[in-house]
Chains A and B, each alone.
Chain A
Amino acid sequence: MNLTLHVWRQTGAAAAGRFERYDARDVSEHMSFLEMLDVVNGRLIEEGKDPIAFEHDCREGICGSCGMVINGRPHGPVPRVTACQLHMRSFTDGDQIWIEPWRARGFPVLKDLVVDRSAFDRVIEAGGYVSIRTGAAPDANAVPIPKRDAERAMDAAACIGCGACVAACPNGSAMLFTAAKVAHLGALPQGQPERYSRVRYMLAQHDDEGFGSCTNHGNCEAACPKGISIDCIAQLNRDAIRAALGKGTEYAGAAGGGA
């Protein structure tokens, strides 16, 4: 098939960006979307032009590196699929495809389709962990965990940190990302001691990073390639309200700044 691409090109963080038009010819339906871009880039290089910068690594939907808005939708038209797992059979001959970076205050563009997502790391650093040292663990079966709790934790832990939720949100909120970690650790006994301090510190960091507030649009869940549910946000809100009412302050000393 032959396609017309309109790709956001931006030389650097401070530069102004614009859409550029490219023809993608003889595209096989079995190609992945990124392989299609590889072919376009190969041609650009041979023509002496600058190839399109985009992030990718595992190309099997788990590392969370790739991410671009394709025809207005983060990761493109197929639900629950990352851009790298999107295949060209989802498009038809003659299609116009608009490709843009994540757009959000918390994710400044570095070049073309590449954005800076380091804010996510700082949100995790604020408290997205269990404070346990290597070597201090009891036997793994010492504390039985009901299967439903383990499954609920796993559902939330499946987040790949790609940032599609932020790109989809009209407020540029990273609440689904933050809530997924809060819900994952909150579902497990190991996460209880720091449960309320964790939500406080992570939320404060989330806001400091310039992410917007959650107003329950639900676009994040629709865009999430891993199907993380906004139930996680409800969980986060419950824990945040309890934390605001003083719940868990008995742990604040031990958790000291989320550490």
Chain B
Amino acid sequence: MELRAKVPSGPIQEKWDKHRFEMKLVNPANKRKYEIIVVGTGLAGASAAATLGELGYRVKVFTYHDSSRRAHSIAAQGGINAAKNYQNDGDSVFRLFYDTVKGGDFRAREANVYRLAQISLDIIDQCVAQGVPFAREYGGLLANRSFGGAQVSRTFYARGQTGQQLLLGAYQALARQVAEGTVTLYPRTEMLDVIVVEGQARGIVVRNLVTGAISAHMAHAVALGTGGYSNAFFLSTNAKACNATAIWRAYRRGAGLANPCFTQIHPTCIPQAGDYQSKLTLMSESLRNDGRIWVPARAGDARRPNDIPEGERDYYLERIYPSFGNLTPRDVASRRAKELVDKGQGVGPERNGVYLDFRDAIQRLGQQTIAERYGNLFDMYLQITGENPYEVPMRIYPAPHYTMGGLWVDYNLMSTLPGLFVIGEANFSDHGANRLGASALMQGLADGYFILPYTIGDYLAQTKFAAVPEDHVAGRSAVAEAEARTTRLLGINGTRTVDAFHRQLGRLLWEYCGMERTADGLNQALREIPRLRDAFWADVRVPGAGQDLNQELEKAGRVADFLEFAEVMCLDALRRDESCGGHFRKEHQTPDGEARRDDEQFAHAAVWEYTGDGTPPKRHVEPLTFEYVHLAQRSYK
């Protein structure tokens, strides 16, 4: 497997402009001769499909939802970063670039991140023009807030529903193209495989989730915008259907999988309440702007929070990180919370949380102001927990939220499988080992609106394509494989539900490949995962038939893939014998408990190549060089 990043030469500020000029163009009259498949209709997929349709390509878009408006981008609460410097507080493209590289703990590709920061400006313009109702000041100009570890106000937001509004903007742009006839939409259709013809990705295998029919769709190029794999942990903030099947199947067909151990554990989620828990709910990180995080200073203190006097509270983030305080980056804030809960200072009925307290903010600003800022989040918290956060502190705890790892892509967002492009959270590109708040929406839309539409054209213009009919033999055999797999799942007829296996996998990963990892634990996980996978294939019960709307069958296929994916995740965590960002190896920490990177050995992206079932995957590296942001230990003190 050859990893050619294809980063253009020249100063970082000029690379993207230069590249855009050098890319080959597809003659406007020829664009309609090219078919492009886009999988997923989140921010990346919908924006890419809409833009490709506008350019005149013939686009087919697939989503397993009933509507393209329901992708999980819709749940992003906090905001989207852009280096507009509207607040005149010293922001710039370079500063956003710098913050993102540093925040990612120096495990991202500089050139990609710089381009992302540049494009951030265009995204906000585009979204406003679509009618996205961002928050505004009384003078009518756009409002900003500071967010998750940034010291400038560069985050644009639409109440606590920024992801929803951005996605609806992209969804409406997509709807317009559907009406124009450039885009054909396939809702309730799940991708099961990639079809490779003569070394190029030329199509996908899909299952119609209503009729159960499995079929092939061919095209000249395929773009995956299929999101992240946090649901490997079972309990995460992701929507229930989020899964790794698309990227996993692409990996098995030759796409390299990069840094799967880079997972983000978000510090502010509602703690688990019981064994029946089906998912965890995020409370926007923006709450950390006004809330103060604390635990009782004494382990096992069972008093109600409001009865604990000031002197017996430990505002630990403010104590340890006086300059960033409650706004320290996600990975750091999460680990500190875990340490205190492990020490017995956790709060709540299960002693599995820390307090996020608004008492001081309410006293300082008044309840009205707090309600204006966070009203919908407070209501959501009250609804879920039955506790009123205006009166008692919220309880929060970290939860899997985002995955920085994903399919490896070059500067053009193409994977190691020619013709297979990967956008948004599904790729590994821009966030290194830790993503900063409000950067995921930025990346999804940058990839979809402003990068892929250019780079895919360049690929199409310089590639020779063999004629591939819809019933090509590669498609037929991939369909047959998918059908056989479905038949096998339905035929096991064991005793345990799909969810039971998924929960077990999730517990295992949370224990050994969660917030804190050790070589011993990871080796343990690597022994247990294959056993669990065997147990799944021997004893899972998938009721119903294949030719029907069968939600258990859908879940079973996804969990089967998670059971394979998890192994590479743990392997990657084991082989990355350093701590960086969200990947914290207990063996590698500074005396005060911070992640200690090993730049000598690990300043690279680790890329895994599939070598067949039963043989270990092969690890490759893309070295990362830092010319503009100098390698340094992150410090938020």
Residue of A nearest to B132 (CB): A157
Report the tally of A-B residue pairs with Cβ distances under 8 A: 221
From B124, B135, B210, B278, give the contact of A150 (CB < 8 A).
Answer: B135
20 additional contacts (CB under 8 A) given A116-B66, A130-B129: A31-B274, A31-B276, A34-B278, A45-B541, A48-B543, A50-B544, A51-B543, A57-B239, A57-B241, A64-B70, A65-B66, A118-B187, A130-B131, A137-B122, A140-B125, A141-B142, A157-B165, A184-B133, A259-B176, A259-B180
In the complex, A214 has a CB within 8 A of chain B: no
**Cβ of A145: which chain B residues have Cβ within 8 Å of it?**
136, 140
A109 to chain B, nearest CB (A): 11
Q: Is the CB of A190 within 8 A of B497?
A: no
Q: Is the CB of B142 within 8 A of A140?
A: yes
Q: What string of 1s and 0s marks CB contacts (under 8 Å) between B47-65 and chain A?
A: 1001100100000000001
Q: Is the CB of A45 within 8 A of B497?
A: yes
Q: Is the CB of A150 within 8 A of B543?
A: no
In the complex, B248 has a CB within 8 A of chain A: no
**Cβ of B323: which chain A residues have Cβ within 8 Å of it?**
none
Secondary structure of the A side of the interface? Answer: loop
Task: Sort chain A's interface into a size bin.
Answer: 35 or more
Q: What string of 1s and 0s marks CB contacts (under 8 Å) between B112-142 and chain A?
A: 0000000000101111111101111111111
Q: How far, in whole Å, are A16 and B548 apart by their CA atoms in the complex?
A: 16
Q: Is the CB of B383 within 8 A of A87?
A: yes
Q: What string of 1s and 0s marks CB contacts (under 8 Å) between A104-139 and chain B?
A: 000000110010111011001110111111111111
Known: A81-B383, A133-B54. A121 touches B131 (CB 8 A): no
**Cβ of B450: which chain A residues have Cβ within 8 Å of it?**
134-135
Q: Is the CB of A134 within 8 A of B176?
A: no
B232 to chain A, nearest CB (A): 17
**Cβ of B142: which chain A residues have Cβ within 8 Å of it?**
140-141
Complex interface: stretch among B167-175, B410-418, B435-443: B167-175
From B129, B165, B175, B187, give the contact of A137 (CB < 8 A).
Answer: B129
In the complex, B220 has a CB within 8 A of chain A: no
A-B contact pairs, 19 of them (CB 8 A): A12-B548, A45-B497, A51-B543, A63-B65, A63-B74, A65-B66, A85-B383, A87-B383, A110-B210, A125-B179, A129-B130, A129-B172, A132-B126, A132-B130, A135-B449, A137-B122, A137-B129, A153-B131, A188-B131
Q: How far, in whole Å, are A158 and B274 apart by their CA atoms in the complex?
A: 31
In the complex, A101 has a CB within 8 A of chain B: no
**Cβ of B453: which chain A residues have Cβ within 8 Å of it?**
134
Complex interface: stretch among B10-18, B31-39, B156-164, B579-587: B156-164
| Pairs A-B, 9 closest by C-beta atoms | A144-B140, A129-B172, A137-B129, A137-B125, A153-B133, A154-B133, A140-B128, A57-B239, A134-B51
Q: Is the CB of B173 within 8 A of A188?
A: no
A116 to chain B, nearest CB (A): 7
In the complex, A61 has a CB within 8 A of chain B: yes
Q: What string of 1s and 0s marks CB contacts (under 8 Å) between B85-103 and chain A?
A: 0100000000000000000
A64 to chain B, nearest CB (A): 6
Q: How far, in whole Å, are A258 and B450 apart by their CA atoms in the complex?
A: 25
**Cβ of B544: which chain A residues have Cβ within 8 Å of it?**
50
Most chain B CB atoms below 10 A, which of A31, A34, A58, A145: A58
In the complex, B259 has a CB within 8 A of chain A: no
In the complex, A231 has a CB within 8 A of chain B: no
Q: How far, in whole Å, are A190 and B281 apart by their CA atoms in the complex?
A: 34
In the complex, B549 has a CB within 8 A of chain A: yes
Most chain A CB atoms below 10 A, which of B127, B134, B176, B450: B176
Q: Is the CB of A45 within 8 A of B126?
A: no
Q: Is the CB of B495 within 8 A of A46?
A: yes
